[in-house]
Amino acid sequence: MRAALLALALLAGPVAAQEITYSDAATAECLAGAEEFPDQRACIGLSSNLCMEGPGGYSTYGMGGCLDAELSFWDELLNENYRARMVQAKSADEDAALYQPELPSQAEALRDMQRVWITFRDAACDYERSQWGGGTGGGPATLACLMQMTGEQALRLGAAY
């Protein structure tokens, strides 16, 4: 019994050692104070960088966890901004249908643009991963690429045109 407990403790050690501490606070605070796109863009990666500087964040596994956590933040913002932009586009389409029915649909154009953007983002980040030749840095590099591109698209969709 004692040997089994010791074996479990030894197996749990690496997992516990790789726990990370992540918070969206740095990114959210940065965005709250940034009005222009370049300033907002500079907010991308702040929280994951702080996480990687903390306990467990220095390992490849930890880096991946930190980057994935911030990617989730940007993905949520992207979806929120896309939904808001789609509401605006559909409203514009309804108005245009009354006075200029020949105009192309903004909602369809937005949907098509987002679908193509997702394909482009994924291909760009697959290329990023390919540069690591199968090495362990490929995972974090891919997540960093996804986070950066998703953050930028979230900001573009949230910008007032």
Grade residue 7 by pLDDT with cuts at 50, 70 and 90: very low
What is the reported pLDDT for 136?
Answer: 86
> With contact defined as beta carbons under 8 Å apart, do 80 and 34 qualify?
no
Percent of the chain with pLDDT over 70: 88
What is the reported pLDDT for 11?
Answer: 40
What is the reported pLDDT for 97?
Answer: 85
d(CA 30, CA 114): 26
150 C-beta neighbours (distance < 10 Å), count: 25
d(CA 137, CA 128): 10
Query: For 30-50, what is the mean pLDDT?
Result: 95
What is the reported pLDDT for 18?
Answer: 58
Domain boundaries, the chain: 20-158
Model confidence, pTM: 0.83
DSSP at 44: T
What is the reported pLDDT for 63?
Answer: 92
Mean pLDDT of the chain, nearest integer? 87
d(CA 110, CA 156): 12
* Least confident among 17-21, 32-36, 106-110: 17-21
Query: For 126-151, what is the mean pLDDT?
Result: 94
